[in-house]
Amino acid sequence: MLRKGMPTQFADIPHTIFYHCVEDSNDAIMITNTAGLLVYVNAAWSKIYGYSSAEALGKTPRLLHSGYQADDFYKEMWSQIRDPKVGYWKGELVNRAKDGSLVPVLLSITPYRGDDGGFSGFMGIAVDISYRRELEAKVAHQDRLASVGLLASGLAHEIGTPLGVIRGRAEFLAMRAKEPKIRTEMEIVTAEIDRISKLIRSLLRVSRDFTDVQLAEVSPRAVIDEVLGLVGQNLREDLVEIRNAISSEVRVRADFDRLVQILLNLVINAIHAIRKATKDGRVDRHFLEFTSEVRRDGFIEIRVTDTGCGIPEENFKKLFQAFFTTKDVGEGTGLGLAIVSQLVHEMQGQILVRSKVGEGTTFSIALPNFSV
Ligand SMILES: Nc1ncnc2c1ncn2[C@@H]1O[C@H](COP(=O)(O)OP(=O)(O)OP(=O)(O)O)[C@@H](O)[C@H]1O
Ligand SMILES: [Mg+2]
């Protein structure tokens, strides 16, 4: 039956056509009754959110709340829908799917009327915009890196000049010192100054804006030294033993700065995983190991192995998706591995992962051997 006042053209169309259009729509469609309980969800809805229609029907769409929007957000949303002058809501929000992953959507909510013309419930159409959000987040991340880079280069200059003066004076005093004890002390001062200068140079490198890929002969061992220089303090605090079994002779074709960024992300993830394992009660001696292997296809695999909490198999597929994180809000954005995988592919490399819950994880970065 058609609602009174509907244009007559609809009378000629079999009404099931509307059902099929909704059912086959690529965008998620949900319909609630007047009490706000779901009475219908289409196939795309189930695909995006992971709940079958049997699991969803009879529940409220609050099922999808992610905690990313404050209560005020929903209050404002409903006041717009109820306001006869507006009568609908449209905007972007972040939902949570059944498996816990976050789904950013563009959602529109409209009240609909039944056969008798009276209010019958709400219809929501959600367009999955993860892809767009992913791009925006990557751009934002790069922007942030660029501004950190700007700060770092300013600081490097400001700190570098007085450091140079201090170093000069320290050397002068070391030369004039008669007592060997004082000479040794002054040498420690210069060595520490050199350490600060090196750290500043590393910081400058990590925060560089990545635009052009510069493939050259790179020593993975040198890259790892640089990364450990940046995070070494954390490793010492966590009592993680470091095993660097990569020979200084190994050479890959890579972009040095990109490889620093990649390994820095993997090492930070490994430290977090080890901390989690310790918190979960595995207090055995933890280690972080770097190894390399030449593959038959001429690639070299650089492997980062940790004795952390490990990754459940069902998460393997999601690891490299932007926003996939198991860390608490504020602790991880879930962008690390998404950026890592982008950087690896920009260098024509591959990334592989092997892991066992309760034992640890190995990430391998395969890059072309420089000498072939
Ligand atoms: N070495 C590892 N051991 C165990 N789990 C890991 C390891 N590396 C990554 N993971 C898992 O993969 C998820 C995604 O990692 P990713 O680096 O992309 O994001 P994140 O570390 O959570 O946040 P961000 O890097 O943006 O700060 C992590 O939340 C964690 O669950
Ligand atoms: Mg990370």
List, for residues 254-293, the tens digit of each pLDDT value: 999 899 989 999 999 999 999 999 999 988 789 999 999 9
Please work out whether the CB of residue 42 comes within 6 Å of at least one atom of ligand 1.
no
Between CA 305 and CA 128 the distance in angstroms is 35
For residue 285, what are the CA distances in angstroms to 21, 281, 316?
A: 59, 12, 26
pLDDT at 70 over 90: no
pLDDT in tens, 331-340: 777 878 988 8
- Chain-centre distance for alpha carbon 290: 23
pLDDT score, position 115: 87
Per-residue tokens: 32 = 């609630």
* Least distant ligand from the CA of 308: 1
Per-residue tokens: 113 = 């009327």
Task: Confirm whether pTM is higher than 0.75.
Answer: no
Chain position carrying tokens 């170093």: 167
Closest-lying ligand 1 atom to the alpha carbon of residue 322: 18
For residue 231, what are the CA distances in angstroms to 69, 132, 199, 372?
A: 34, 32, 10, 33
For the beta carbon of residue 167, count every other beta carbon within 10 angstroms.
Answer: 17
Between CA 102 and CA 260 the distance in angstroms is 29
Ligand 1 centre distance from Cα of residue 326 (Å): 7
Please work out whether the CB of residue 124 comes within 6 Å of at least one atom of ligand 1.
no
Write phi, then psi, for 85 (nearest 5 degrees). -75, -25
DSSP string, 61-129: GGGGB-S-S-HHHHHHHHHHHH-TTT--EEEEEEEE-TTS-EEEEEEEEEEEE-TTSSEEEEEEEEEE-
Please work out whether the CB of residue 319 comes within 6 Å of at least one atom of ligand 1.
yes
Beta carbons of 153 and 204 less than 8 angstroms apart: yes
Closest-lying ligand 1 atom to the alpha carbon of residue 335: 26
Ligand 1 centre distance from Cα of residue 268 (Å): 9
pLDDT in tens, 33-51: 999 999 999 999 999 999 9
Q: Which of 268, 337, 343, 351 to mutate to test the pocket of ligand 1 (most atoms within 8 A of CB)?
A: 337
Please work out whether the CB of residue 230 comes within 6 Å of at least one atom of ligand 1.
no
Name the pLDDT band for 101 (thresholds 50, 70, 90): confident
Please work out whether the CB of residue 271 comes within 6 Å of at least one atom of ligand 1.
no
Between CA 227 and CA 224 the distance in angstroms is 5
Please work out whether the CB of residue 202 comes within 6 Å of at least one atom of ligand 1.
no
pLDDT in tens, 297-328: 889 999 999 999 999 999 998 898 877 889 88
Please work out whether the CB of residue 311 comes within 6 Å of at least one atom of ligand 1.
yes
* Least distant ligand from the CA of 320: 1
Ligand 2 centre distance from Cα of residue 213 (Å): 22
Ligand 2 centre distance from Cα of residue 336 (Å): 4
The percent of residues in the chain predicted with pLDDT above 70, rounded, is 93
Q: Which of 278, 325, 355 to mutate to test the pocket of ligand 1 (most atoms within 8 A of CB)?
A: 325
